[in-house]
Structure 1
Amino acid sequence: MSIDISEGMKLSLLKEALGNGSIIVDSVLDTIMATKREQIKKLHTYAITAPSHEGGRWQTFYKGVDDAVRKNIKAPTEEALLDKLITIYFADSSIKKLTFHGLYEEWLDYKKSIVNSPNTIKRHEQHYKKYFEPSPLHNHKVIKTDELLLETECNRIIRDFNLSRKEWTNIKTILNGMFEYAVRKKYLVDNPVDKVQILVKFKQVVRKTGKTETYNSDELKELNLYLDRMYAETHDSAYLAIKLNFTIGLRVGELISLRWEDCSENHLHIVREEVRDQTTNHYEVVEHTKTNRDRFVVLVPKAIDILEKIDRQGDFIFMRNGERITSRQIAYVLEKYAERQGLSTKSTHKMRKTFASNLNANGVPLDCIRELLGHSNLNTTLGYIYNPLTEKETYDLIAKAL
């Protein structure tokens, strides 16, 4: 005798079984996926080909109703290939209606949940509004967005806005992020951005040199004399913060977030930074660095001497009238110095480049410099290396070498 169970009762029993462990979720999902793979084998009309050699890939073709040509689909295993086909065959109606802009908003919500920096989100919003909102991509269906359409629009944006390679790399972060997210969400099989070719010329940027990016030996000597004189007059630790940073090479947000507890006998522990909310212009210290990784930097004798001169006013090393000094106040000191000397202002970041360049000029291994700067990629570090020597020092070094 069979018992007629309503749909509501079935759902209730299923939830109960999941709750008490009678059904293992992973086992159910594996069964569902196995069933779908079998369905795909029956639905799919093109042959599924095994690799012809070791290390090869399984492959097949697929042609949708709206596709002009069939597409080649590859995967390392038969199961992975079938899973890609499941994404295509079983895509629900909401995915079919999803637009480029809809995907962007969904991806941005995801980014907001994992990124600590509101400024990064704001920059993405500004870039999207400027470059992609006016584009035909904005309202285009995601599942119909192929690499040729993307390639056309990417090249047009670079040409119309006369972008440099670096500017485009920053903007492309949005495209890469969106479509990688779409692949992970099973909206798409592959990331079409991977196949985009840039065929137009980027804006040519004048290569920066040590003259603009670093303080050379003579400039650093003059600046230090000024900082010493001003500290003697004011006892403002902002002047010593700048002197110190030429020996430790921190991001300015890390520099003014240092606490006395971060100091050991000959190292500083870098664990936090100051951030500025670009909307409210509010500065605050957060308990992580830009890369979300802590690091240690060595304190040479000169750095230790500078630290020993500072009067303790609180938990932070650099304070003024009982308040933590901000990165803006550090920048102001350098601006005021340049104004008095009749020079162009060199930003706070040039202290960091001077530090890296001086280490390199004195034979410190690049990988050590990378670690001190807190970079994960050596190519990033190479972008900080310039010639910090005067023309005479450079000439003498060349003459000695030859």
Structure 2
Amino acid sequence: MKKLTERDLNYVIDNGIIDTADVLNQIENMKREQILKEHGDRIRETKGGYYFRIQDNTLKNGEYRRRNKDRHVLEDLLVEYYKNKEKREQELETKENETFEQLFFEFMEYKKTKVAHDTVRRMMSDWKKFYVPQKEFIHKPFKQITKIDVDNFLDDVVNQSEGIQNKAYCNMKGILKQTFQYALDADYIDRSPYRDRVNKKKITPTRKKDSKKEVFTEQEHKLLLTDMERRLSKTPSNSIPLAIMLDFETGLRIGELLALKETDILKDKNNVYKIHICRQVVKKHDMSDINNIKGNIWTVADYTKSDCGDRYVPLTPKALEYIKRIIDINKQNKVYNDDYLFLTKEGTLITESAVDSQLRNACDKVNILRRSMHKIRKTYASSLYHKGVQIPIITKLLGHADEATTMKYYIFDVYDAQETDVIVLNALSSTDNSNNTTSCKKTVTNGDNKIVMFQSRKKVENLSKFKVSHS
């Protein structure tokens, strides 16, 4: 008798010669009959009905038990159990030869549902840079990878001719650790081969960045303000220069800055104007293909980067002046969009790239080192610190979760070389004049008198909307 080929089967299905639904139903019935034939004797009749008990060490209590008055219902449960068991065994058998690369992509499909899209993008970038070149390692079945394999892989990475920074190394090895932890949690393996025994002397320590590249000096700030005013006089309908000027007064993340609304500006019971940071502009990414992540859609999210990001920032007189000018520009342009401050002449939100681009162009214009908007945020933090504001307060103003982040990554020297020399010489002269007596006194400046102690992050009481008057 001639056997049906795949082509024959496709022909009879496509032409409706056989009913596929009926065939599938018959297959399921045959599977049911086979399972009951092999395991049906596990069902025992007892007083008041039927029950079965199956030893299964994969379950929490070590067994699978069910009881019911209706034998047919219990048969359904028994069949379902053995179908699921067969499916699990097939999956485990498939996992035996699954490579580390395949495991990683399975893990990333899970990971992308738990973390921010930018985290996934960074991990994929590290994967392509550090893992893809290591073909032998990533193509090895992950169940066969040993601790020695892990040692050799990590050694190969740190022995690269160009070297590796400590932060980059920590991010890179985190992929390895988390992928095996996923396999452990999914019960694919009993123990993880991950460990870190590389020679740490081969890893370049992450040193604090050069202040010249991270913050603007006071003189550079003045040069930029002058250039921003020049741009405003040349193009009065463009509020981007005011966005840059406002950020020097508030230290906001650029996404928070561009998501500001007029209704976010409030006055507390002490008549202090503050701005409520409660949303941000974010980029949406297409994560359907994590090997080729695309992100070109900007949207406003009604949440901040973290819980600590939801905060109130006090506004200086300059900040209030800039905000009034921004509102005036929108009125002159006859644009309105749900109270947002930073709008184009078409009424859409100004983009991050447009602001960053104008800042970089201004840096070129005044002949200073190019820096991004985030460097203004660091300048804001550093300026507060050098004027005597305590780290815990700066941390709250920046919306950071911990003080260590603020101190390590946001506090830099805001003085140029000449100003630094004067400060040091004055300090040494002061020491000499005190007859070698150590002094811990601090000169009080007008700036110190203006420092306001901010409350802990609670909802500001008795807030009233910030009103803008137009003559």
TM superposition score normalised by structure 1: 0.71
- Total equivalences in the alignment: 330
Stretch deviating more after TM superposition (310-319 or 182-191):
182-191
Q: Is the 8 A contact 2:257 2:280 kept in 1?
A: no
- The equivalent position to 2:405 in structure 1, one of 374, 380, 391, is 380
Comparing 124-133 with 279-288, which one deviates more in the overlay? 279-288
**One-letter amino acid matched to 1:284:** T
Query: What are the residue-to-residue correspondences of 1:2-401 with 2, within 5 Å?
Result: 7=35, 32-35=59-62, 92-117=92-117, 119-135=118-134, 136-160=136-160, 161-199=162-200, 201-203=202-204, 208-235=209-236, 236-265=238-267, 266-275=274-283, 277=285, 279=294, 281-291=296-306, 294-301=309-316, 302-311=318-327, 312=330, 313-314=335-336, 315=338, 316-321=340-345, 322-381=347-406, 382-398=408-424, 399-400=426-427
> 2: distance between equivalents of 1:396 and 1:259?
43
Alignment-mate amino acid for residue 214 of structure 1? V
Any stretches of 5+ residues in structure 2 without a counterpart?
Answer: 1-31, 41-50, 64-90, 268-273, 286-292, 432-471
How far did residue 195 of structure 1 move? 4.0
- The answer on whether the counterparts of 2:283 and 2:296 sit within 8 Å (CA) in structure 1 is no
Q: Is the 8 A contact 1:231 1:237 kept in 2?
A: yes
CA 1:181–1:388 in 2, change beyond 3 Å: closer, same or farther?
A: same
Normalising to structure 2: TM-score of the pair? 0.62
Equivalent-residue separation in structure 2 for 1:286 and 1:388 (angstroms): 33
For each residue in 1:91-111, what CA deviation from the matched residue of structure 2 results, as whole angstroms up to 9, or x when unmatched? 943443332112101111012
Q: CA deviation at 1:131?
A: 1.9
**What amino acid is the match of 1:125?**
M
8 Å CA contact 1:334–1:348 kept in 2: the answer is yes
2-structure distance, mates of 1:269, 1:358:
21
1:385: Cα distance to partner?
1.2
**CA distance in 1: counterparts of 2:319 and 2:251, whole angstroms:** 11
What is the letter of the counterpart of residue 308 of structure 1? Answer: K
CA distance in 2: counterparts of 1:370 and 1:189, whole angstroms: 43
Question: Partners of 1:116 and 1:199 in 2: how far apart?
Answer: 30
Segments of structure 1 that go 5 or more residues without pairing to the other structure are: 13-22, 37-90
Deviation at 1:256, TM superposition (A): 1.3
Which deviates the most, 142-151 or 340-349?
A: 142-151
* C-alpha contact (below 8 Å) 1:147/1:195 kept by paired residues: no
Q: 1:32 to 1:187 in 2, by over 3 A?
A: closer
- Superposed CA deviations along residues 158-210 of structure 1, whole A, max 9, x for unmatched, are 22252222222332332232123223223344544354434451347775222
CA contact (8 A) 1:338 1:344 kept: yes
The sequence identity of aligned pairs, in percent, is 25
Deviation digits for residues 37-74 of structure 1 (CA, Å, limit 9, x no counterpart): xxxxxxxxxxxxxxxxxxxxxxxxxxxxxxxxxxxxxx
Q: Residues 234, 197 of structure 1: CA spacing in aligned structure 2 closer, same or farther, 3 A cutoff?
A: same
CA distance in 1, matches of 2:308, 2:143: 37
Alpha-carbon contact 2:151-2:197 (below 8 Å) kept: yes
Distance in 1 (alpha carbons) for counterparts of 2:266 and 2:223: 30
**Paired amino acid for 1:363:** G
- Asked if structure 2 preserves the Cα contact closer than 8 Å seen for 1:158 and 1:200, the reply is no
Distance verdict in 2 for CA 1:224–1:393, change over 3 Å? same
The alpha carbon displacement at 1:222 in A equals 1.5
- Alpha-carbon distance, 1:325 to partner: 0.8
Distance 2:188 2:202 in 1: 33
CA separation of 1:177 and 1:291: change in aligned 2, threshold 3 A: farther
2: CA distance, partners of 1:351 / 1:153: 40
Specify the alignment match of 1:49 in structure 2.
none
Equivalent in the alignment of 1:52: none
Query: Can you list the C-alpha shifts for 1:368-391, whole angstroms capped at 9, x where unaligned?
Result: 222222322433222121101233
**CA distance 1:260–1:163, change in 2 (3 Å):** same
Whether contact under 8 Å (1:112, 1:121) holds in the other structure is: yes
**TM-align CA RMSD:** 3.3
Distance 1:195-1:120 versus aligned 2 partners, 3 A rule: closer
Q: Is the 8 A contact 1:151 1:198 kept in 2?
A: no
CA distance in structure 1 between the aligned counterparts of 2:409 and 2:188, rounded to whole angstroms: 37
Greater gyration radius: 2
Amino acid in structure 2 at the alignment position of 1:332: S
Distance of 1:111 and 1:370 partners within structure 2: 29
- The CA deviation at 1:224 is 1.4
Tell me if structure 2 keeps the 8 A contact 1:270–1:289: yes
Letter of the aligned partner of 1:253 in structure 2? G
**Aligned-partner Cα distance in 2 for 1:226–1:288:** 33
> What whole-Å deviation, never above 9, does each CA across 1:323-361 have from its counterpart, x for those lacking one?
211111111211221222233311111111111111111
The SS at the match of 1:140 is coil
In the TM superposition, residue 8 of structure 1 has moved relative to its aligned partner by 6.0
